[in-house]
Amino acid sequence: MGNDTLDVLICGGGLAGLTCALQLRHAMPDLRVTVVEAQARPLPVACHKVGESSVELGTHYLAEVLGLGEYLRREHLPKNGLRFFVGPPDTPIAERTEIGPVESPTVPSFQMDRGKLETDLRRMVEDAGVTLLEGAKVVGLTLGEGGELHVARIVMPDGAERQLTARWLFDAAGRRRLIQRELDMAREGKPVASSAWFRIHEKLEVGALVPEHERRWHARDVDHTRWLSTNHLMGPGYWVWLIPLSTGYTSIGIVTDHLHHDPSSYGRKDKALAWIAEHEPALSRWLSTRELEDFKLLRHYSAASERVFSGKDRWACLGESGQFLDPLYSPGTDFVANFNCVATRLVREDRAGTSTPELADELIDMLTGWTDDCLRTVGDNGVYFGRAEVFAPKLWWDFTHYWDCACSYFFNRGYELDLEDHRRVRGAVEQLFRLNEQAQDLFDSWAELGASDQQRRKAFVGLPPYPGFLTDRHLALAKPALGDALRPRLEEHIALQRSVLQELFLRALTELGEARALGDSMRSAGWRPHLSAERIACEQLPRDERLEHISSYARDMDRAFGRARGDGTPLSTLLTLAGFHVDRGASTPKRTRPST
């Protein structure tokens, strides 16, 4: 390779670095890309890294943008959505509320063995013409400012040192955070939470943790596909993941927030097993006859940065080297996807001589917006763990918001729009962000004001209900809205989400009864409802007549969570107490039959 200047140098060949290299070469087959990766093959099967469960956005990136769909279907497991078993302390799994899909999702996601995935990606990257230096370590960086080239010092496997010079420099070294350290921009992240994980060389059916006499609980899983979900065993301040891998292993991890649990209490194999025995005894019994293949603890896993991307100086922090929030909804691969796509676009524009600082700033601002939005959704989420009555409605919202906002933008290649179109799309996306902030404020108040009520526990909350509004939101991802069609699509989503948020508010108001406090908190969030008298009055009608007056999503919420029940105070009274005005313009529905 001599001393030639590279187009792109990628430090670190994990998920982010390898996929970025592949994407760059697909976009520009003659681009000179080198990846420096410290760990040489062979990589261990299964016991390699966390980040094994993908969700829709990241899956779309791997399957469609990189064209790995067939590979994933062949070599990894199809994922049956996110599934949660939520309950107060010391509740057997069958007695917790199960929240999960009614039917296997049509829009795919996967459970991926990271050892296998990265081994295969390394081969693909080499086949695509990338230079992969394995067993080589980046030991120093000199970032070129104001158009200068970047220089990296590398220690080769034989101990020899060499320098690489590149026009673009991407840090993909994960938690080593090379650029962040170099520029001293690393910041403490939120939420304050920790995790430990290990693998077992055996398939774990979550059903194996529930006694056979719980017939209904077992019967619910008609297709025997529950084990293919990312199963979350959830209690106050913690959750435990169970992720199956195609290589016959099961990945198991503990995640806790610092308010409820000290990571030192599960920081070693033996302590982790004791912690599991205390909090998840059924899992502990299953583990007692099995061997832990590996073990790792990560304290305070979230990581933030002041800046993660510079278009002007041509560097970026991809994947975990930039930031990491929280694994609850498995968004790690989504971050990899969003950042890699912007990185690839900016390299391409730079090469074609068409890049402008405005375009770079625009795309980078969008990335920052996603991060903040995602943080609002998952930051400090420990208060919801174990509380199905708030967590289930929150999940409902978080799913619609995720599908209608981040996924819609990404599936329709929003990051490829030209500057003006992108600005307009971002305007719409920011309205969706705003609605999400208000929704999260609602859930925070709901959790704070409400007392968890086990009397009304629902055994199974089908999310999304099938068929139904939420399933349609999910399926809408498969219907393209490219180019000019994206903004009108997002505008539709804004209107829908406004109404969905309103319904969630009515539900919270009915269940909590704390009208004044809830009203105050939503007002200070800047929320203004547009409630029709018809919608409010129909709460008093018999069921079949009421159904004629409520929206499909209001009905679906009833189907999923049960009808909202409070202390009997009419909704109109609660709204007045909350200080919200009802629009009298719409006609009041007539009672056509006396109620029984």
Partner 1 sequence: MTRDEILKNVVEILADSFELDPEEIKPESTLYEELGLDSIDAVDIFVQLRELTGRRPDPDVAREIRTVEELVSFVESELAAAAAGEPEPELPPPGAGT
Ligand X SMILES: Cc1cc2nc3c(=O)[nH]c(=O)nc-3n(C[C@H](O)[C@H](O)[C@H](O)COP(=O)(O)OP(=O)(O)OC[C@H]3O[C@@H](n4cnc5c(N)ncnc54)[C@H](O)[C@@H]3O)c2cc1C
Could you say which of partner 1, ligand X, none residue 478 binds, taking C-beta under 5 to 8 angstroms by partner kind? partner 1
Residue 367 contacts ligand X per CB under 6 A: no
Residue 461 contacts partner 1 per CB under 8 A: no
Could you say which of ligand X, partner 1, none residue 191 binds, taking C-beta under 5 to 8 angstroms by partner kind? none
Lay out the site mask for ligand X across 122-141 (x = CB under 6 A, - = otherwise).
---------------xx---
Residue 319 contacts ligand X per CB under 6 A: yes
Beta strands at 77-78 and 110-111: parallel, antiparallel or unpaired = antiparallel
Contact indicator for 20, 172 with CB cutoff of 8 Å: yes
Residue 220 contacts partner 1 per CB under 8 A: yes
Residue 559 contacts partner 1 per CB under 8 A: yes
Instruction: Give the count of beta carbons closer than 10 Å to the beta carbon of residue 284.
Output: 16
Residue 555 contacts partner 1 per CB under 8 A: yes
Residue 56 contacts ligand X per CB under 6 A: no
Contact indicator for 71, 172 with CB cutoff of 8 Å: no
In whole angstroms, give the CA distance from residue 61 to residue 69: 9
Residue 176 contacts ligand X per CB under 6 A: yes
Q: Say how many residues touch ligand X, by CB under 6 A.
A: 36
In the complex, minimum distance from the CB of residue 92 to partner 1, in angstroms, rounded to a whole number: 17
Residue 478 contacts partner 1 per CB under 8 A: yes
Angle between helices 515-524 and 486-512 (to 10 degrees): 150
Of the two residues 320 and 514, which places its CB atom closer to ligand X in the complex?
320
In the complex, minimum distance from the CB of residue 30 to partner 1, in angstroms, rounded to a whole number: 41
In whole angstroms, give the CA distance from residue 586 to residue 501: 20
Could you say which of ligand X, partner 1, none residue 53 binds, taking C-beta under 5 to 8 angstroms by partner kind? ligand X
Of the two residues 136 and 364, which places its CB atom closer to ligand X in the complex?
136
Residue 223 contacts partner 1 per CB under 8 A: yes
In whole angstroms, give the CA distance from residue 532 to residue 549: 11
Out of 74, 213, 216, 590, which residue is the one contacting partner 1 (CB under 8 A)?
A: 216
In the complex, minimum distance from the CB of residue 15 to ligand X, in angstroms, rounded to a whole number: 4
- Token output for 305: 């940065």
Q: Say how many residues touch partner 1, by CB under 8 A.
A: 28
Contact indicator for 109, 54 with CB cutoff of 8 Å: yes
Could you say which of partner 1, ligand X, none residue 39 binds, taking C-beta under 5 to 8 angstroms by partner kind? ligand X
Of the two residues 18 and 574, which places its CB atom closer to ligand X in the complex?
18
Of the two residues 220 and 258, which places its CB atom closer to partner 1 in the complex?
220
**Whether the bond into 157 is cis, omega within 30 of 0:** no
Residue 104 contacts partner 1 per CB under 8 A: yes
Contact indicator for 396, 504 with CB cutoff of 8 Å: yes
Angle among Cα 281, 285, 291 to the nearest 5 degrees reads 125
Residues 6 or more apart whose Cβ sits within 8 Å of residue 576: none
Beta strands at 77-78 and 230-235: parallel, antiparallel or unpaired = unpaired
Could you say which of ligand X, partner 1, none residue 489 binds, taking C-beta under 5 to 8 angstroms by partner kind? none
Residue 16 contacts ligand X per CB under 6 A: yes
Residue 244 contacts ligand X per CB under 6 A: no
Residue 251 contacts ligand X per CB under 6 A: no
In whole angstroms, give the CA distance from residue 288 to residue 478: 44
Out of 74, 213, 543, 590, which residue is the one contacting partner 1 (CB under 8 A)?
A: 543
Amino acid at 110: F
Angle among Cα 24, 29, 33 to the nearest 5 degrees reads 50
In whole angstroms, give the CA distance from residue 353 to residue 247: 46
Residue 58 contacts ligand X per CB under 6 A: yes
Residue 430 contacts partner 1 per CB under 8 A: no
Based on the number of CB atoms within 10 Å of its own CB, is 510 exposed (0-12), middle (13-18) or buried (19 or more)?
buried
Of the two residues 160 and 219, which places its CB atom closer to partner 1 in the complex?
219
In the complex, minimum distance from the CB of residue 573 to ligand X, in angstroms, rounded to a whole number: 45
The CA distances from residue 159 to 14, 41, 137, 156, 203, in Å, are 22, 18, 10, 5, 41
User: CA nearest 382: which of 267, 273, 297, 261?
Assistant: 261
Could you say which of partner 1, ligand X, none residue 106 binds, taking C-beta under 5 to 8 angstroms by partner kind? partner 1
Backbone angles phi, psi at 390, to 5 degrees: -105, -35
Beta strands at 131-134 and 33-37: parallel, antiparallel or unpaired = parallel
Q: Which residues are near ligand X by CB under 6 A? A: 11-17, 36-39, 49-54, 58, 137-138, 172-174, 176, 195, 253, 298, 301, 319-321, 327, 330, 332-333, 336
Residues that bind partner 1 (CB under 8 A): 102-106, 215-216, 218-220, 222-223, 460, 462, 465-468, 471, 475, 478, 543-544, 547, 555, 559, 563, 596
